[in-house]
Structure 1
Amino acid sequence: MAKKQLMMLVSLMLVLSVFLAACTGKEKTEEEEKDPAKPAEEKAGEKVEEKEGNEEITFPVEVSNKAEVVEDGELVYGLVSSDPFKGTLSPVFYSDAPDANIMQFFAEDFLAADGDYLITSDGAATYEISDDNKTITMKLKDGVKWHDGEPVKASDLLYSYEIIGHPDYTASRYQFSISNVEGMPAYHEGKADTISGIEISDDDKTIAITFTEATPSIMSGVWTAPTPRHYLGDITTGETTIEEIESSDKIRTAPIGFGPYKVKKVVPGESVQYERFDDYWRGKPNLKSIVLKVVNSASILQALEKGEVDIAEFPTDQYLNAKDSEQFELLGRIGLVYTYIGFNLGSYDEAKEENVMDPDSKLADKRVRQAMWHAMDNEVVGKEMYHDLRIPATTLITPVIGFHDSENPGRPYDPEKAKALLDEAGFVDVNGDGFREDADGNEYVLNFLTMSGGEVAEPLAQWYIQNWEDVGLKVELLDGRLHEMQAFYDMLQTGRKDIDVFQGAWSIASDPDPSGIHGRKSVSNYSHYTSEKNDELLAAGTSVKAFDADYRRDIYNQWQEMMVEDVSLAPTLYRYDLEAVSKRVVNYSIDPGSDLWLYEMGVSE
């Protein structure tokens, strides 16, 4: 990397650090993840090893405290965010990670999952799959109750399918795993009042869901989160509507679930108080209460050091100051998240319920998108901004998923290749101002939408802008600034026309099927990319043939190769999930196969 570029990056970070030091009284830094070359298969208690230069970094995945749990302990969970949480506290309606973090304490699915993200019978229900792999039958265990004391019913899971499939439903859950249910398309189109592929037993404890096509996604992508019909009202009888449920206090401030803790009080956007649910089906949880509160990333380290917060997802800009702390320890594992640069290639057609590409998009020529990926020096970002704890991403399936193609190099940093691609596309500097005009000789300026939050957000955005400038592309921040998270997603979802390029992050599902983000029908396909080949590969990846793991791996390798060629999104960084945990916390694990930590978690003092 050129010395000029490194100095520019360091200068950006120093300027921002001085600014933040003036505001907080203490300088900060930032961190996160590691290597995609090898899938992480950490089990509880095992170490995950990473390198920073020649120094080995080791993260455990569970706490070291093995002391006895004190009775009626209390705990504070820090929701690290620069913005208030949205507060859509329902599995069928929520749309962002902060709300998911809030729900984890009170909401549960019927089925649990193991360390490979495959369903198990260790949750509130057991399951069986038919010989033809088209029907899954779930039976609730005894004593499973909603927080208001009502029994959880099989028909509560049916209610989730009725909401998600309803013609008036506008959130993002109507995907292949739902539309593949037998009779769902007719129900979704308003041609049927019921879903023919779902049957409930007479005692309302067993539900059988039959799919139109057998698919291996049944083991990792089947929807098993119920919705309390008795509490929210029934849309199928006209008692209430989708819109009324989504905006109601019963979701926003007084939600119920059947998890180990129940919501006592919500201060919108700021905090949630939970209390122990004594009738939890697994038994009495160890903690008497939990308080979740929003903590700004600039102050989370201080809050942890003072004991004001016991657990928090840890921002990487604090890593160097935190790694030797005596008040808390850092847990870490490769996560399901990747960051990306997206390109606006069209729009979402509400009438057709599908994405449509625009041949007149500023970024319609894929060579420009390829060039922009080659121009980004993500290796330096991972090293200088994230202390070697994030690494350059290569494909749109993360290394933690078994179908990641570790042989695919993606589009590594190569500014000369970027320049050659732009030249080939006819994007040249006509007037000598240092910036390229488009193929028709017109001024070419791209509007870049990205989020605020954390110390790295501003220098990272400026770094990419500089990278693109170095190959002759003029990119400017949309509205001249960074946007807070909720506004960012609102602008993408409403299809603001002046967005050309955007930077975001996806926390992908445990099921490798990428159609929920990249499908023709997906409302989350913010680039609006479509192609017949994409349709074919996504369909093949969930077909009967895909029960053969080698076949499915080949399909997803082809898909990853196609997306590296077409570049609807340019993945930038894979990351580690880090959590800071007070040393008084007992029985806490971030291992994906551990679903008992909420119930068994406690404190020793």
Structure 2
Amino acid sequence: MYRMKHASKVLFALMLVLLFALTACNKTDSDAKPKDEGKKTEEGKKENAKGEEQLYSIDDFSNIKTNEGEAMEGGSFTFGLVSDTAFQGTLNFNFYSGDPDAQVLEWFDEGMLTWDENYVYTNDGAATYEASEDGKTFTFKIRDNVNWHDGEPVTAEDWLFAHEVIANKDYDGPRFDSTLRNVVGIEDYHEGKADTISGIEVVDEKTLKITYIEATPSLITGGIWTYPLAKHIFGDMPVKDISSSPEVRENPIGFGPFKVESIVPGESVTYTKNEDYWRGAPKLDKVTLKVINPNVVVQSLKKGEVDTVDKFPVDQFPANAELSNVEYLGAIDRAYSYIGFKLGTWDKKAKEVKTDPNAKMADVNLRKAMWHAVDNNAVGDRFYHGLRWAATTLIPASHPEYHDESNPGAPYDPEKAKQILEDAGYKDVDGDGIREDKEGNELVINFASMSGDEVAEPLAKYYIQAWEAVGLKVELLDGRLQEFNSFYEGVGEKGDDNPNIDIYAAAWGVGIDVDPSGLYGRDAIYNFTRWSSEENDRLLAEGISEAAFDPEKRKEIYKEWQQLMTDEVPVFPTLYRSVLVPVNNRVHNYAIGDGTGMYKNEIEVTQEEPLAEK
């Protein structure tokens, strides 16, 4: 694979080590198919030879589509965004916060750099880069043929402008975190002490130089902000108005393979091909993205109403494993599900978490007991047929070189959970089977859990019943599941924490870099638990320090961090995840996962309409 030619010796050595460490975990077998053993039950579920419900393994799937037949010229493609709620429509990478908006964005915009299957930035993106000998200064050159959809060139000024907007006091997005704060001079700019960001230099129209405070191993695996912002469109707009402007909500612009033609807010987007796309004009003429409720995904696929969906509800896979008109692609997701405990609030002025030692869930023993009370192995088998599996630490299996396999987390042990609660003073004072708090008062724990596919409600009920089995009364917030946008507003994506939420169930997409500070850092707005500690600060800082260029040292740091989180339990992981994506048989050149070398402009189809189930 192509690497940067002039990287510093330190960075190059790191890449070699990363390559060695990660090669073993990357599997691409285009001939692999789901295992098909056993018979169907009356309910459509598959059983193995012993009469047990069939379990599946993500190892049995390919992440690259098999091409069947001869592709036609042009044609259209329909992409299903699986969601039970509308996408928010903040359609700019510098401002969006939820995955649904990211799915919309990725068809018409992209970052300046791409990465390989080992999560290392390469030089085959819209820009190339070189690093200084000390690994602190990066020089980026934007390709001459990279242009915005309106024909204006993407410039170094646009890239600088994105940094200036995110660092502006009036910026209302979630991106001003430790990654951006590592740029020299950006804090002074943010605080109004300087009119420019001293660490960013526009060398010429297509060349940008950025100097970072620390040379960290994260820089080449996600620690660079790579999304420019069109200054000729947003340059005269007040920063506080950008995210809600028509140029973001109604007529967004990018430099990706397709252009936005029209939007039905929250429901669908129609794209047309960008003839001027820098990788080459797309082979498709048109793409339609539409929101599909999880409950009708199968019907839409069977009828040929969509060519693919962003994620297939894996609980529905066994009954639909043999659809004749699609091929299922699969990959280990860079994500995990977790239960979080509300332990403070967000300080909007200081832009950091404020941990409350008197929060309802402040007792670590209560949190540990709630972890021991749930059987995530059973959840993975029962609800997801083996395609999700019990998580143990907060660095998932998608990053095997840093995931600590020796750390068991808190295994299912309800008797231990009961003993922890009893010893900590949570006793059943009145004999009704439900424990009171340590002062003998009623203890009711409010649980925020999202709506979604048909598993959402029974899964939430399982957790509530598991906690009740150890004597804890847990109730759904407002007596119901929360839809996606309301849920994230409640847990505090804008900094406004709903004080009625005590615990919540969520998921986190891990970046290409293993650094977990985006969810657990003191200055991370996505740190919805609002938990902080000096020990956590220390380990997160050490994980991206110069010392962490030594992969063995970095492994040691993150092993210690995983143990800290196991001990303190501000959250506990529930499931590691796989992604299943069914793709219509008429589609060519489609892949999921990272570093496949296949891009959206290469997608083709063999006929005018998707194939329907026979």
What amino acid is the match of 1:545?
A
Aligned to 2:592: 590
| Cα shift at 1:42 | 2.1
> Structure 2: how far apart are the matches of 1:526 and 1:169?
19
1:309 and 2:311 aligned? no
| Cα shift at 1:210 | 0.3
Distance 1:447 1:59, change over 3 A: same
- Describe how 1:319-338 pairs up with structure 2 within 5 A: 319-338=317-336
| Cα shift at 1:397 | 1.0
| Cα shift at 1:317 | 2.7
1:244 and 2:244 aligned? no
Aligned to 2:220: 219
| Cα shift at 1:180 | 0.6
Deviations 1:13-62 (A, max 9, x none): xxxxxxxxxxxxxxxxxxxxxxxxx9841236374888987766521111
- Describe how 1:75-474 pairs up with structure 2 within 5 A: 75-202=77-204, 204-221=205-222, 222-231=224-233, 233-234=234-235, 239-312=236-309, 313-401=311-399, 402-474=401-473
2:55/2:385 contact within 8 Å kept? no
Aligned to 1:525: 527
2:28/2:64 contact within 8 Å kept? no
Aligned to 1:14: none
1:448/1:500 contact within 8 Å kept? yes
Distance 1:155 1:68, change over 3 A: farther
> Structure 1: how far apart are the matches of 2:213 and 2:63?
39
Aligned to 1:42: 27
| Cα shift at 1:157 | 1.0
What amino acid is the match of 1:285?
P
1:259/1:280 contact within 8 Å kept? yes
Deviations 1:238-290 (A, max 9, x none): x2212211101111111111111110001101000000000111111110000
> Structure 2: how far apart are the matches of 1:227 and 1:356?
32
- Describe how 1:5-84 pairs up with structure 2 within 5 A: 40-43=25-28, 45=30, 47=32, 57=57, 58-84=60-86
2:315/2:384 contact within 8 Å kept? yes
2:56/2:387 contact within 8 Å kept? no
> Structure 2: how far apart are the matches of 1:43 and 1:133?
32
| Cα shift at 1:591 | 3.4
> Structure 2: how far apart are the matches of 1:130 and 1:450?
47
Aligned to 1:11: none
> Structure 1: how far apart are the matches of 2:570 and 2:488?
17
2:131/2:137 contact within 8 Å kept? yes
> Structure 2: how far apart are the matches of 1:159 and 1:68?
45
| Cα shift at 1:354 | 1.3
Answer with 319-328 or 269-278: which moved more. Answer: 319-328
1:488 and 2:487 aligned? yes
Secondary structure of the residue that 2:78 maps to in structure 1?
strand
Gaps of 5+ in 1: 1-37
Secondary structure of the residue that 1:347 maps to in structure 2?
strand
What amino acid is the match of 2:474?
V
Aligned residues: 562
What amino acid is the match of 1:318?
Q
Aligned to 1:6: none
> Structure 2: how far apart are the matches of 1:84 and 1:285?
28
1:39/1:400 contact within 8 Å kept? no
Gaps of 5+ in 2: 1-22, 38-47, 608-614
Secondary structure of the residue that 2:192 maps to in structure 1?
coil
Aligned to 1:7: none
What amino acid is the match of 1:426?
G
Answer with 476-485 or 57-66: which moved more. Answer: 57-66
> Structure 2: how far apart are the matches of 1:590 and 1:44?
13
2:28/2:62 contact within 8 Å kept? no
Aligned to 1:479: 478
Q: TM-score, normalised by structure 1?
A: 0.91
What amino acid is the match of 1:60?
S
Deviations 1:420-474 (A, max 9, x none): 1111211110110101111111111100011111101111111000000000101
> Structure 2: how far apart are the matches of 1:279 and 1:336?
32
What amino acid is the match of 1:508?
V
What amino acid is the match of 1:387?
H
Q: Runs of 4 or more off by more than 4 Å in structure 1?
A: 46-57
Q: TM-score, normalised by structure 2?
A: 0.89
What amino acid is the match of 1:73?
G
Secondary structure of the residue that 2:61 maps to in structure 1?
strand
1:502 and 2:504 aligned? yes
> Structure 1: how far apart are the matches of 2:553 and 2:542?
9
Answer with 161-170 or 482-491: which moved more. Answer: 161-170
> Structure 2: how far apart are the matches of 1:44 and 1:217?
29
> Structure 1: how far apart are the matches of 2:32 and 2:162?
38
Larger RCO (CA under 8 A, 6+ residues apart): 1
1:42/1:48 contact within 8 Å kept? no
| Cα shift at 1:97 | 0.5
> Structure 1: how far apart are the matches of 2:237 and 2:172?
16
What amino acid is the match of 2:342?
N
> Structure 1: how far apart are the matches of 2:599 and 2:536?
39
Distance 1:397 1:48, change over 3 A: farther
| Cα shift at 1:579 | 0.7
Aligned to 1:27: none
> Structure 2: how far apart are the matches of 1:378 and 1:270?
34
Measured on the aligned residues, the alpha-carbon RMSD in Å equals: 1.6
1:40/1:399 contact within 8 Å kept? no
| Cα shift at 1:383 | 0.7
2:172/2:240 contact within 8 Å kept? no
> Structure 2: how far apart are the matches of 1:55 and 1:485?
29
1:448/1:502 contact within 8 Å kept? yes
| Cα shift at 1:595 | 4.7
What amino acid is the match of 2:381?
K
> Structure 2: how far apart are the matches of 1:108 and 1:121?
15
| Cα shift at 1:64 | 1.2
1:395/1:405 contact within 8 Å kept? yes
Answer with 586-595 or 323-332: which moved more. Answer: 586-595
2:56/2:386 contact within 8 Å kept? no
| Cα shift at 1:315 | 1.1
